[in-house]
């Protein structure tokens, strides 16, 4: 397997674009080569199987969803209350909304995971790690709520983003207002 981290990232980014635009059925090595503007066979040189490619896409999605360390550091001195928790939730929605290919690709992978055990394995492992990391961060920051509330927020943000990025219903609620309502209703 070829090792060039910049090229691997560029190919994974192209794969994310393909997933977001074409869906899981459109994700082929050739489609990624075309989206990346690389010669045919380049993606196969880096990711020999479709499962290897999907695993790389899951890893790259995780990288692209990682919060900005400076943003996290700037909030470290703030009082860990419900308002700060809501601000963290708004930041997640802002990051997802600013880069819609990432959540769309992630939703595609989640649907593909229902049909393909290898995708389910890779995606579930990544999601479980991310959830545990969120719970650990939450506890270390002294934010209100526990593991159950973090799980409920994961479900709520997933639903909010799915609605926002696909066929949104007109509820009259902005994303910020919805987050404030989630926080008010879910946090003790």
Give the integer Cα–Cα distance in Å for 155 and 72.
22
Q: pTM for the whole thing?
A: 0.90
Residues 6+ apart with CB under 8 A from 7: 42, 46
With a pLDDT cut of 70, the percent of the chain lying above it is: 98
With a cut of 80, say whether residue 138 has pLDDT above it: yes
The band of 167, judged by pLDDT with boundaries at 50, 70 and 90, is very high
Residues in the chain: 188
Tokens of 80: 């860990």
With a cut of 90, say whether residue 1 has pLDDT above it: no
Complete DSSP assignment for 106-123: HHHHHHHHTT-HHHHHHH
Q: Is 176:90 a contact under the CB 8 Å cutoff?
A: yes
Tell me, what's the pLDDT at 2? 55
Tell me, what's the pLDDT at 188? 74
With a cut of 60, say whether residue 60 has pLDDT above it: yes
Residues 160-177 have a mean pLDDT of: 94
On the 0-12 / 13-18 / 19+ scale of CB atoms within 10 A, 187 is middle
Taking only the tens place, the pLDDT of each residue in 3-52 is: 788 999 999 999 999 999 999 999 999 999 999 999 999 999 999 999 99
Tell me, what's the pLDDT at 127? 95
């Amino acid at each position: 397997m070829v090792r060039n981290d910049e090229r691997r990232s560029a190919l994974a980014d192209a794969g994310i674009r393909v997933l977001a635009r074409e869906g899981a059925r459109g994700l082929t090595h050739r489609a990624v080569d075309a989206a990346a503007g690389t010669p045919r066979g380049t993606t196969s040189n880096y990711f020999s199987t479709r499962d290897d490619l999907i695993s790389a896409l899951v890893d790259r999605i995780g990288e692209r969803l990682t919060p900005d360390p400076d943003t996290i550091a700037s909030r470290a001195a703030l009082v860990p209350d419900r308002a700060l928790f809501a601000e963290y939730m708004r930041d997640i929605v802002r990051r997802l909304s600013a880069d819609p290919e990432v959540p769309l690709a992630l939703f595609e992978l989640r649907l593909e995971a229902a049909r393909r055990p290898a995708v389910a394995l890779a995606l579930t492992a990544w999601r479980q790690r991310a959830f545990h990391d969120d719970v650990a961060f939450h506890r270390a920051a002294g934010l209100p709520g526990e593991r159950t509330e973090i799980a409920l927020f994961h479900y709520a943000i997933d639903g909010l983003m799915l609605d926002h990025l696909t066929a949104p219903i007109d509820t009259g609620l902005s994303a910020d207002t919805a987050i404030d309502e989630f926080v008010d209703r879910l946090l003790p």
